[in-house]
Amino acid sequence: MSDRVIIFDTTLRDGEQAPGCSMTVEQKVRMARQLERLGVDTMEAGFAIASDGDFEAVKRVAKEIRHCTVGSLARTKKLDIDRAWEALKAAKKPMIHTFIATSDIHLEHKLRMTREQVLETAVEHVRYAKQYTEIVEFSAEDAGRSDVDFLCQIFEAVIDAGATIINVPDTVGYAIPDEFGRLVRYIIEHVPNIGKTVVSVHCHNDLGLAVANSIAAVQNGARQVETTINGIGERAGNASMEEFVMALNTRQALMKLNTNVTTQEIFRTSQLLTNLTGMIVQRNKAIVGANAFAHEAGIHQDGMLKNKQTYEIMTPESVGIPKSELVLGKHSGRHALGQRFKELGYALGKEDLETAYKSFTKLADKKKEIYDADLIAIVQDEISEIPEMFEFASIQVVSGSELTPTATVKLSKADQEFMDSAVGDGPVDAACKAIDRITGIPGRLTSYSIHAVTKGKDALGEVLIQVEYQDRSYAGRGASTDIIEASAKAYLNAINRIAYAGSKSKSGGPVSEKL
């Protein structure tokens, strides 16, 4: 049996459907490019029939991504499969992923179908999908709670109908590792034509066991694992890609299994997702959390100084976490900056480098020491997946315990400057209201978080927010040594996304009046 485990990434589908994780088409395309760089084998780009936005996202990703299989989810319905194919047909390696539930509880209460009807429907639609593309995955939804002999029967039938991947989802995150491993082994041992297909698993994290269950599955013969970046997904999420991959990597000698993932791209991918969605990972999250490689206890620090292996089972460099060493100073030139960006994996064009250089010199005036994390914050400020209608120019805030907070914001739009002031409950509220007055887009701030990018009182503050507008949620990000400015930039970033979505839907977009 091969020692290669296929990574099927569903960040753009199962991940994106979770509250607070929605992405625009452009954000999905940007994420897809990074997933390709990361080295996932397959990416599920969306559920084409679910909405026009999903359809467009699958279509754009299918057109652009050349090194991964690109898939769309489809129920066992001809309309779903037709729509999936319509979106996927430009893909180099298109995959239709069709599914139907197999557990009795779903059959009785949701589908109101008999097992025979479910089996017939599954076979008919795998055959239907197969006329479009060679790669067809069939998922038995709620397999974790399905009758195992019925599962074997349906898998045998869909493999005969042409399914090249059969997927065993623990849809409700109910399984326990040992039990789930045995289920996978049973399927492999009891489906006679199993050799013609890849056995996949898709685990949810309701009991915090999604990664453990996925590991048990590969130890019992599964060779595809469905994961998401940062573990985002329905309810408690899906198996986290970074945790699964690093478990295989770190315990290679024990498990003898490999993936195609370039682990040094993990941190960047995780950060990009956080920046695009505004969904932060908890500090103690394995692999990518801010504390994942921080050693606080004196006894640990002492051990680390003597030999890192005393308390470190993998290095931060192996997952691409930038070194926290001083990298550049006020007098560093464009060339040194460009070189450092290159080492960090950002190949900036001339124009982007010039903009980044300006931000760098501004930052160096305010902050004595510039670290890799600062440079990443700068570059993430500069690179946007959409054209920004409004650019931030400046902010002035008057605030204090005895004063009514007032903010005056200056923005530019197509080389014209706009300025307005507003009062608010606090300086951030006042800044957002001033931005609303200029842009004409009254967003509702629904989530706000701030953290220091590096240590020290002069550290860059990075703000991640979510803004609701007309029943949709938009993420925003901003960084500055001044946290009110960072907040205003983050809010404006979300407003620009709203403005762009408005201009794309040709609803006229927002209005803004010159002062």
Measured from the CB atom, the residue of 16 and 36 that comes closer to ligand KIV is 16
**Residue 381 makes contact with Zn ion by CB under 5 A:** no
Contact partners, residue 207, CB within 8 Å, separation at least 6: 173, 174, 176
Residue 129 CB, shortest distance to ligand KIV, in Å, is: 14
Measured from the CB atom, the residue of 30 and 202 that comes closer to ligand KIV is 202
Burial pattern 63-76, b for ≥16 Cβ within 10 A else e, equals: bebeebbbbbbbbb
Euclidean distance between CA atoms 281 and 425, whole angstroms? 28
Which segments within 77-186 are labelled E, that is strand? 93-101, 135-141, 165-170
Measured from the CB atom, the residue of 215 and 378 that comes closer to ligand KIV is 215
Label each residue of 135-196 as H, E or C. EEEEEEECHHHCCHHHHHHHHHHHHHCCCCEEEEEECCCCCCHHHHHHHHHHHHHHCCCHHH
Residue 19 CB, shortest distance to Zn ion, in Å, is: 15
Q: Which stretch binds Zn ion (CB under 5 A): 10-18, 156-164, 437-445, 472-480?
A: 10-18
Query: Crossing angle of helices 241-250/266-277, nearest 10°?
Result: 170
Residue ranges in 367-482 assigned as alpha helix (H): 372-382, 427-439
Residue 85 CB, shortest distance to ligand KIV, in Å, is: 18
* Coil, strand or helix at 299: helix
Measured from the CB atom, the residue of 15 and 424 that comes closer to ligand KIV is 15
Measured from the CB atom, the residue of 22 and 380 that comes closer to ligand KIV is 22
| DSSP secondary structure letter of residue 107 | I
Residue 257 CB, shortest distance to Zn ion, in Å, is: 22
- 410 burial class (0-12, 13-18, 19+ CB within 10 angstroms)? middle
Structure tokens at 268: 């960047």
**Residue nearest Zn ion, Cβ-based:** 14
Euclidean distance between CA atoms 311 and 322, whole angstroms? 19
Euclidean distance between CA atoms 203 and 226, whole angstroms? 7
Residue 102 CB, shortest distance to ligand KIV, in Å, is: 10
Measured from the CB atom, the residue of 167 and 487 that comes closer to ligand KIV is 167
Residue 231 CB, shortest distance to ligand KIV, in Å, is: 14
- 255 burial class (0-12, 13-18, 19+ CB within 10 angstroms)? middle
Contacting residues toward ligand KIV, per CB under 6 A:
14, 73, 99, 139, 141, 167, 169, 171, 202, 204
Q: Which does 99 bind (CB under 5 to 8 A by kind): ligand KIV, Zn ion, none?
A: ligand KIV
Measured from the CB atom, the residue of 171 and 277 that comes closer to ligand KIV is 171
Q: Which does 139 bind (CB under 5 to 8 A by kind): ligand KIV, Zn ion, none?
A: ligand KIV
Measured from the CB atom, the residue of 42 and 171 that comes closer to ligand KIV is 171
Structure tokens at 383: 């690179």
Residue 63 CB, shortest distance to ligand KIV, in Å, is: 24
Euclidean distance between CA atoms 274 and 230, whole angstroms? 9
User: What single-letter amino acid sits at 148?
Assistant: V
Residue 35 CB, shortest distance to ligand KIV, in Å, is: 18
Measured from the CB atom, the residue of 73 and 154 that comes closer to ligand KIV is 73
Q: Which does 385 bind (CB under 5 to 8 A by kind): Zn ion, ligand KIV, none?
A: none
Q: Which stretch binds Zn ion (CB under 5 A): 7-15, 240-248, 461-469, 493-501?
A: 7-15
- Asked if residue 277 lies in contact with residue 17, where contact means CB atoms within 8 angstroms, the answer is no
User: What single-letter amino acid sits at 360?
Assistant: F
Q: Which does 497 bind (CB under 5 to 8 A by kind): ligand KIV, Zn ion, none?
A: none
Residue 320 CB, shortest distance to ligand KIV, in Å, is: 28
Residues in region 11-40 near Zn ion by CB under 5 A = 14
- Asked if residue 499 lies in contact with residue 389, where contact means CB atoms within 8 angstroms, the answer is yes
Structure tokens at 493: 């970033």
Residue whose structure tokens are 């009062």:
423
Residue 49 CB, shortest distance to ligand KIV, in Å, is: 13
Measured from the CB atom, the residue of 101 and 465 that comes closer to Zn ion is 101
Residue 167 CB, shortest distance to ligand KIV, in Å, is: 6
Measured from the CB atom, the residue of 81 and 353 that comes closer to ligand KIV is 81
User: What single-letter amino acid sits at 513?
Assistant: E
347: number of Cβ within 10 Å: 10
User: Alpha-carbon Rg of the chain, whole angstroms?
Assistant: 25
Residue 61 CB, shortest distance to ligand KIV, in Å, is: 18
Chain centroid to CA 131: 32
Helical (H) or strand (E) element with 411? strand 406-413
Measured from the CB atom, the residue of 14 and 54 that comes closer to Zn ion is 14
Structure tokens at 208: 């915090």
Query: Crossing angle of helices 350-366/334-343, nearest 10°?
Result: 100
* Coil, strand or helix at 224: strand
Interface residues toward Zn ion, by CB under 5 A? 14
